[in-house]
Structure 1
């Protein structure tokens, strides 16, 4: 690093002193905090993104968003070259940068890290960053801080992509690094053409009646509602009505959005008895989560929730059907049995896991967090992951997509329009419609709608795939959450000794009982999850396990 680069870093960082007393940590969602204290952090993540670009010699993304958080919050996260999240190896350095107390310390950290990672500043490669933000009022000023951070690395290039959903930014980064065009128009074009392809391949006898084509969507008063308004103008075959698009003056994520709907299981603002029986969906604030619901008759606020577990199940049923068609023809040399895997966390409802296993699917578990789910799903030819909160996607391996393309070409020359070729075309269309970089509420919504049309299912038929087991979540305040150590995808307590045995004894008292505990990633609480055959039983089980946590760790409290 030459003197010019050192001087530029010292001078620019002096304009963004860290807020006194604040200590931030880079997690699954990047850095998040009250927007008023984020200027310094966002500036420094701009530097981090430029360094990441130099290291990988790829385009990197920066997204300014706080997803389902309240409107006064904001945050920033990095999209790696594949469109996924920042490599976990770089998270500790991100924390060090964000919390460096002064410009000289910051510079020393950068020099030391660049040396360790063999990052060159010789100008042979210029850092390139795609920058996006959601609709939060604080986004504009934070965007400027990010630009200044990026520009403090000599030669770095910033592309301001404007107001985007988080998944759009991730998609654009992935596309750019694959040598493809990556504008918003390209994103919409790929989604809509893939949706139309699947719709055109629906057997006539499965097409459901016209009234079912109507979908009401809660846009969370965020960027997703705004983008969905643009999509619906280009869409045919589906009538979408967007409520809470942000134009009506509603507040982002307040009484609206996928996080609110999934946790509270009540109708979002703007929905009511006039929507009884109609298929409804809800996006979160930055449109990376999606849940569905219907409003039952004679209910003023309660909903029938169709969460991420059931979205996963719908996708799995459809993909398994297409694979069964393809694998039914094992003649010739160009045949391949795809490995399909479903990835869940321990928070997935046990009824969903039982249903998926009953279908004959391979189901595996990871610790909580998209970074774990995504990595595990990528180990399959086709890997599907979803959390109950509505965040998830489908991953196709490059090897399998290459085989699928070749198989489609082979079939088109010998049996064009056959059932086999149609199955291949459907899978190829799914791989283009779904956002393989990250969970995407817009692409997920279009895929759900196409599959429901294909299956000939109403939301009520879909919801009846299985009956969720009653569940309960609690949290117990503790002095030190690190006292709890877990294993087996967070389902078994390793430390403190004997705590797991005590939990097992409680579980054994209840029909279909299941419970686990895990330390929070951000606060000194232990989270308790429980399931059982009735709500009364699950409430008792959850409270008993919470009491055990308090007994073993001491100094706690819980509801």
Structure 2
């Protein structure tokens, strides 16, 4: 064991990937992300973090090489925890420190100190598995090798290459493997297809007779999701899927004028779509297939669309699940009086359109807000028996608690023996099928797409009816350059400014001038800017409110020539104000990280 440990130490101290000069990397919701050409050092070190995490937990961990909706030249790396979710936030300071260690000796010292503090064995028997995946970016293969070298530098860790996969597939594989289930890509496809088929078999007869349009055109963003959908659609019945921008040679460039991010932000038709698609239900994935939007091409004469974003996808899911719970607990159906208690919660951020929040509350649903970021949404949703979250910008899922699934399975078995085929029984079957179809590890465009299609069929809804659930309030987002974004401190899920003094009062004063006005500001997580979001009953009102508040931000925090000159003599604001521990990597004290 001592020899193995020494070998591990030699591998670490001889890191083959030097840190790019003058750059600093920070682990966030997207993991580490930058130009793919400069990421080999960062990915190597992320591999070390993943190996230590796997040894600490004694479970499989995932490492995904992807930059999601970013341009094709970018790339990144993110780590999946044993439950398939994102790596715990408490390990982010260590990941940052390791990624920015200036030399191999500092890198080695950080690993030794951290391993000692966390009682992580180095040089022991093989006890850690790391599942590796990458998307279709040209830099992915090289960066995957860098991750492998970082992982295997920690003796006791082994890699399992899952190949080219979507990001949600890798998260699903990690979760399944740690639950003792089959975790190959074919198992993923089979679970989605089987649960989708179950939901389609349960479509009410009156809806079947009415007939709902089953044609769907999918924009695959020229990424990995398009190729996977080509395989998956051959296993499906009841929906006619046509894939554009599937990533085939000559079809287009990854995320260029296509994909969920482009469609949602620009609100225009993606490349590869034309006049033949007017009035047909369409959907867009992003480059690694973890985000999803729906749209209608409005006219053959222009490229404008009718967009259904994450807020309305969430609303569709919430309506369907609420209805199934109601049916299941309706005493009038078969005389059963055994109610299945379930707390259904809807989780949004402040960026959710105010009209969507109002609609959900009017439906009698419990709606709560969290700070921006999937890691906050996912954690809050997990507190409910059934928790649904979906960001307006396309990313979300549904979580079912283990206790609720256990009760639901028992209830389903009881109904199967006492009143098979009853509405009670069908509702229980639908809920169980949803829990299998939706990817509970992370937002998944493929599973989300199939759930949308199954629900529309079950409810007999057209795209138009779905789109007109409510009408979004006009909104505007602006960015204000500031000297130090950490000067802004917010509370109440980022909707209220605590510091600097006077800014919240100014926001309130401006907002009061507009009917249904709403505005908040928050510091960016990646650059020294303050983001301003405003809503109003007209676009002019939203624009004016955003502009007025941006002027107040500039007045109080603006990036003037004087503050810029002063900052040159000080440490960088991002380092000076970091909340992830002391600047020196040699004197780090770590929180409780279990």
TM-score, normalising length: structure 2 = 0.92
1:304 aligns with one of 300, 303, 306: 306
Task: Quote the Cα distance in structure 1 between the aligned partners of 2:57 and 2:438.
Answer: 26
Aligned-residue RMSD, C-alpha: 1.5
Give the conservation status (yes or no) of the 8 Å contact 1:507–1:515. Answer: yes
SS in 1 for 2:513: coil
Instruction: Determine if the alignment matches structure 1 residue 452 to structure 2 residue 456.
Output: yes
1:29 maps onto 2:23 in alignment: no
Q: What is the aligned partner in structure 1 of residue 220 from structure 2?
A: 219
Q: Is the 2:347–2:368 Cα contact (8 Å) retained in structure 1? A: yes
The residue number in structure 2 matching 1:276 is 278
Q: How far apart are the structure 1 equivalents of 2:331 and 2:87?
A: 41
2:489–2:498: 8 Å Cα contact kept in structure 1?
A: yes
SS at match of 1:393: strand
Q: 1:439 aligns with which of 436, 443, 467?
A: 443
**Residue 535 of structure 2 is aligned to residue 531 of structure 1:** yes
1:250 corresponding residue in structure 2 = 252
Deviates more, 1:517-526 or 1:546-555: 546-555
What is residue 265 of structure 1 aligned with on the other side? 267
Structure 1 Cα separation of the partners of residues 56 and 128 of structure 2 = 9
Maintained 8 Å contact 1:35/1:138:
yes
Match of 2:287? 285
Distance across 2 between alignment mates of 1:381 and 1:318: 15
Deviation (angstroms), 1:117? 1.0
Deviation at 1:33, TM superposition (A): 0.6
Question: Which of 354, 357, 360 is the aligned partner of 1:356?
Answer: 360
| Counterpart Cα distance in 1 of 2:280 and 2:209 | 14
Residue 425 of structure 2 is aligned with which of 411, 418, 421? Answer: 421
Does residue 411 (structure 1) correspond to residue 412 (structure 2)? The answer is no
Structure 2 counterpart of 1:322: 324
Match of 2:481 in 1: 477
Structure 1: unaligned runs, 5 residues or longer? none
1:468-521 superposed Cα distances (whole Å, 9 cap, x missing partner)? 000000000011111110000000000001110110010000011000000000
Paired position in structure 2 for 1:60: 61
Verify the 8 A CA contact 1:272 1:300 in the aligned structure 2. Answer: no
1:389 matched to which residue of 2?
A: 393
Contact preservation (8 Å) 2:55, 2:157: no
Q: Deviations over 1:18-75 (max 9, x none)?
A: 1111110000010001011111111111111110000000000000000000000000
- Cα distance in 1 for partners of 2:295, 2:493 equals 29
CA distance in 1, matches of 2:376, 2:406: 26
Aligned length: 557
Deviation at 1:93, TM superposition (A): 0.1
Q: CA deviation at 1:196?
A: 0.4
Say if 2:403 is the partner of 1:399.
yes
Give the secondary-structure state (helix, strand or coil) at the position aligned to 1:293. strand
Q: CA deviation at 1:159?
A: 0.5
Q: Does residue 1:495 correspond to 2:496, yes or no? A: no
CA distance in 1, matches of 2:437, 2:172: 11
**d(CA) in 2 for partners of 1:432, 1:336:** 19
Contact 2:219 2:285 in 1 (8 A): yes
Q: CA deviation at 1:10?
A: 3.5
2:11 is aligned to: 11
In the TM superposition, residue 118 of structure 1 has moved relative to its aligned partner by: 1.2
Aligned residue in 2 for 1:87: 88
**Which residue of the partner structure matches residue 369 of structure 2?**
365
- Partners of 1:208 and 1:457 within 8 A in 2: no
Residues 451 and 208 (structure 1 numbering): CA distance in 2 closer, same or farther, change over 3 Å?
Answer: farther
Cα separation, 1, equivalents of 2:210 and 2:161: 44
CA shift, 1:3, in A, is: 5.5
Where structure 2 has 5 or more consecutive residues not aligned to the other structure, the ranges are 562-594
Report the 3-state secondary structure (helix = DSSP H, G, I; strand = E; otherwise coil) of the residue aligned with 1:196.
Answer: helix
Alignment of 1:110-125 (within 5 A): 110-121=111-122, 123=124
